[in-house]
Chains A and B, each alone.
Chain A
Amino acid sequence: MVEQVAQMVVHGEAWTMKDLFVLPNEYVYWSIQIVLYPYMTGLVAGAFVLSSLYHVFGVEKLKEIARFALVFSFALLPTAMMPLMLHLQQPLRGIHVMMTPHFTSAISAFGIVFMTYACIVGAEIWFVYRKFIVESIERLGSKAKRSAIESLLLPIYKLISLGARDISPEAIHADHKATKILAGIGIPVACFLHGYAGFIFGSVKANALWMTPLMPVIFIMSAVVSGIALCIISYAIFMELRKWAARRGKNWLLPDALVHGEMTVSEKQLREVQEHEVTMTSKYLLMFMVLAITLELLDIIFRGYTAVKSWDILRDVIYEHDFVKIFVLQYGIGNALPFLMLLIPGITTRRACLACIFVLFGVLMMRWNVVIGGQAFSLTFKGFMHYTLPIIPHDIETFKEGLGGCLLVGSAPFVIFYFINMIFPAFYSEEEEAH
């Protein structure tokens, strides 16, 4: 009675391989973009927490990197939305989340939390850069001949100054105070934004691997870790680039210098700043790493010890199917190795950066192991699903949810940062301005 019918590939089928007893509708529905989504929000939150260490707790030593982290966090912000949009089956309807939020759902509050957070970051940048904005308006305005970019930027500055052009000492003092308050509010909101990404997974009771109240906390810790690591690497790399570009006079690599010509500083100064900031920051990274690893191990130990019904299949997934991904890639290369590298005394920028690359990789693997690992076993507890990342796209779906979409999301923050850097130079310091 078997009829010949045209086969049709359904969503998820292209990258899912089923083994043993798996229900007919089960596929890896949440694929790479959902791995990237908490990863990107984590980076945003982490970068912001780093910048707040200076603004709120007055860790003076982090001054330079704090400013950079703030601007970078702003550049990362829009890209945290990208994975969601690339993942939706109906991307044009994404706005429905704002129109009819259904508050029993963990995703529904995303719009609100995200917008609140964006406003805080935006406002903080505004206060930090207000003096600079006003000065730029004056400087650019008084110029007789403006380049194309300069004449484009002048109205932008005028607009974002919002007419507040008072830079008397009292006004500046008020700015500092506002910055501090905003950074203070920002920390819990950043943690909330990310803890809430963890809640999206932790609250799925149907998924044996995801359902744990620890999930939000684990996510926050690893978010801070990844955010700090990314800031260290980017900071160091951008500094190198700037040194190189300053030497060669390649101004297009210095978006801020393009506009604010006099901002390029001497190479020696750059080097000092960089060494100092990077090694300082890695100390904080180490601290958060300890917390993150402790929590993750606690989770696994707890599951093994309580060994409820689902443990049989989880054990298979954790110790057999995903062993390499979890213990070698995530804990080994992603945690233990950089941990040692940061711990050995006499840390250099180069070593710190290498360690940070491992840390970033480790956190990405952690997201992968949670999101993909959570779908690696069937609801029947008697079958498995294997996921393969589509490398070469053969339709829009395998592009969006494949390597292509991945690279798109990964590169977006740097493109955005390049342009934002023109308006808010992330590497500018106030002392420099003073003389």
Chain B
Amino acid sequence: MKRRDFMKNALVFVSGASISASALEFIDPKKVLADNPDLRWAFLVDTHKCVGCGFCVKACKTENDIPMGANVTRTWVERYVTKKDGKTVSDSPKGALNGFTNKKIDQNHSGMLEVPDEDIAQAFFVPKLCNHCEIPACVQVCPVGATYSTKDGVVLVDRKWCIGCGYCIMGCPYGVRFFHPTEHVADKCTFCYHRISKGGNTACAQACPFEARRIGNLRDPNDPVAKAVLNQRVGILRDEYGTKPQVYYLGLNKEVH
């Protein structure tokens, strides 16, 4: 091959390759759908306001088709009772699907624990859900990329691609994941992505009678959630794992993690 021909061929090849590369870029669905630098979803839980009614759990199960009779849930509420001797007992029967209607603490196999009123120093409720971590452990460990982060900060599972290995369930430090009882793939909270990306509210926040739960956009300085995260003393769960969770808590106690 003559040198000039070679140059010519190389030129054709390179330009051809770059055209196809740019074509690919053009249809990258992630970009088209969610490349929005002005949007970063985050969640604010005000534990002072939660009364443990469990409306959020019910609403979530209904909205997201998680069977009521299955003992798994995308969101749940925990109860913490600190006694005057400094010990804390906690429970979350059925994830508080039916609310906390019993004073006794459900210790699973060890039965129901009764704490007399006069022994109680403080008691409170803490709602939990997927933290949509900025550095999600679940995304890191998924062997097929079925769990992924969207550009606007939500972590989702592709139900058509998940092989059901359970590695993400093991990898999540918050225990928010489970196998969907009928779909047989990994499942967890999506921040109701189908609703919020159309301007709606999450089912749990909508169901909460006391505004203990709120979804918001961290990049919008006027957003109430963004304001609270910036101006108030918020905490996050288990920061020692380095996952940078994006669910912020007002009134977090040291027992909660």
Chain A residues at the B interface, C-beta cutoff of 8 Å: 1-3, 5-13, 17-27, 29-30, 84, 87-90, 93-94, 96-97, 99-102, 104-108, 110, 200, 203-207, 378-380, 382-383, 386
Of A25, A89, A104, A108, the residue contacting B176 (CB under 8 A) is A25
CA of A22 to CA of B94, assembled, Å: 11
Instruction: For B163, give the chain A residue with the smallest CB separation.
Output: A93
Given contacts A1-B99, A89-B163, A206-B173, 4 further A-B contacts (CB under 8 A): A24-B73, A89-B164, A96-B146, A97-B143
Chain B residues, CB < 8 A from A25? 72-73, 76, 95, 169, 175-178
Let me know if B13 is at the binding interface, CB within 8 A. no
Chain A residues, CB < 8 A from B108? 17-22, 383
Evaluate contact between A10 and B143: CB separation under 8 angstroms. Answer: no
Chain B residues, CB < 8 A from A7? 69-70
CB distance from A54 to the nearest CB of B (A): 36
CA of A12 to CA of B170, assembled, Å: 13
Evaluate contact between A12 and B179: CB separation under 8 angstroms. Answer: yes
Instruction: For A19, give the chain B residue with the smallest CB separation.
Output: B109
Instruction: Contacts A13-B71, A30-B166 given; indicate if A89 touches B110 (C-beta within 8 A).
Output: no
Q: Which of B227-242 contact A (CB under 8 A)?
A: 241-242
Instruction: For B175, give the chain A residue with the smallest CB separation.
Output: A23
Of B99, B107, B164, the residue contacting A90 (CB under 8 A) is B164
CA of A222 to CA of B138, assembled, Å: 29
Evaluate contact between A207 and B137: CB separation under 8 angstroms. Answer: no
Let me know if B33 is at the binding interface, CB within 8 A. no
Let me know if B68 is at the binding interface, CB within 8 A. yes
Of B91, B98, B179, the residue contacting A21 (CB under 8 A) is B91
Chain A residues, CB < 8 A from B137? 205-206
Chain B residues, CB < 8 A from A382? 90
CB distance from B58 to the nearest CB of A (A): 9
Chain A residues, CB < 8 A from B166? 29-30, 87, 89
Evaluate contact between A24 and B144: CB separation under 8 angstroms. Answer: no
Evaluate contact between A10 and B179: CB separation under 8 angstroms. Answer: yes
Chain A residues, CB < 8 A from B143? 97, 101-102, 105-108, 110
Instruction: For B168, give the chain A residue with the smallest CB separation.
Output: A105
Closest 4 CB pairs of A and B: A89-B164, A107-B143, A24-B95, A102-B145
Instruction: For A7, give the chain B residue with the smallest CB separation.
Output: B69
CB distance from A253 to the nearest CB of B (A): 39
CA of A100 to CA of B161, assembled, Å: 10
Of B92, B98, B110, B146, the residue contacting A23 (CB under 8 A) is B92
Chain A residues, CB < 8 A from B107? 19-21
Evaluate contact between B184 and A206: CB separation under 8 angstroms. Answer: no
| Chain B binding surface SS class | loop
Instruction: Contacts A19-B108, A25-B176, A90-B185 given; indicate if A96 touches B140 (C-beta within 8 A).
Output: no
Residue pairs across A and B with Cβ atoms less than 8 A apart, 9 shown, are A11-B179, A13-B71, A24-B95, A30-B166, A89-B184, A101-B143, A105-B143, A107-B141, A206-B171
Instruction: Contacts A24-B76, A89-B163, A90-B163 given; indicate if A105 touches B142 (C-beta within 8 A).
Output: yes
Instruction: Contacts A1-B99, A19-B109, A102-B145 given; indicate if A24 touches B94 (C-beta within 8 A).
Output: yes
Let me know if B101 is at the binding interface, CB within 8 A. yes
Evaluate contact between B175 and A379: CB separation under 8 angstroms. Answer: yes
CA of A21 to CA of B91, assembled, Å: 6
CA of A63 to CA of B110, assembled, Å: 58
Chain B residues, CB < 8 A from A99? 144
Chain A residues, CB < 8 A from B139? 104
Let me know if B124 is at the binding interface, CB within 8 A. no
Instruction: Contacts A88-B165, A105-B142 given; indicate if A5 touches B68 (C-beta within 8 A).
Output: yes
Let me know if B67 is at the binding interface, CB within 8 A. yes
CB distance from A35 to the nearest CB of B (A): 14
Of B145, B164, B171, the residue contacting A88 (CB under 8 A) is B164
Evaluate contact between B176 and A97: CB separation under 8 angstroms. Answer: no
CA of A5 to CA of B58, assembled, Å: 12
Q: Which of B47-79 contact A (CB under 8 A)?
A: 67-73, 76
CA of A380 to CA of B255, assembled, Å: 10
Chain A residues, CB < 8 A from B175? 23, 25-26, 378-379
Chain B residues, CB < 8 A from A386? 109
Chain A residues, CB < 8 A from B167? 105-107, 200
CA of A101 to CA of B166, assembled, Å: 16
CA of A1 to CA of B109, assembled, Å: 24
Evaluate contact between B142 and A19: CB separation under 8 angstroms. Answer: no
Evaluate contact between B101 and A205: CB separation under 8 angstroms. Answer: no
Most B C-beta atoms less than 10 A away, residue of A22, A87, A89, A204: A89
CA of A107 to CA of B109, assembled, Å: 34
Instruction: For A207, give the chain B residue with the smallest CB separation.
Output: B170
Q: Which of B104-140 contact A (CB under 8 A)?
A: 107-110, 128, 137, 139-140
CA of A206 to CA of B166, assembled, Å: 13
CA of A358 to CA of B149, assembled, Å: 47
Chain B residues, CB < 8 A from A19? 107-110
Chain B residues, CB < 8 A from A379? 173-175
CA of A309 to CA of B95, assembled, Å: 26
Instruction: Contacts A2-B101, A17-B109 given; indicate if A88 touches B140 (C-beta within 8 A).
Output: no
Instruction: For A6, give the chain B residue with the smallest CB separation.
Output: B69
Chain B residues, CB < 8 A from A102? 142-145
Let me know if B172 is at the binding interface, CB within 8 A. yes
CB distance from A387 to the nearest CB of B (A): 13
CB distance from B77 to the nearest CB of A (A): 10
Q: Which of B173-191 contact A (CB under 8 A)?
A: 173-179, 181, 184-185
Chain A residues, CB < 8 A from B142? 102, 105
Let me know if B162 is at the binding interface, CB within 8 A. yes
Chain A residues, CB < 8 A from B128? 23
Of A11, A17, A93, A205, the residue contacting B161 (CB under 8 A) is A93
Chain B residues, CB < 8 A from A110? 143
CB distance from B30 to the nearest CB of A (A): 14
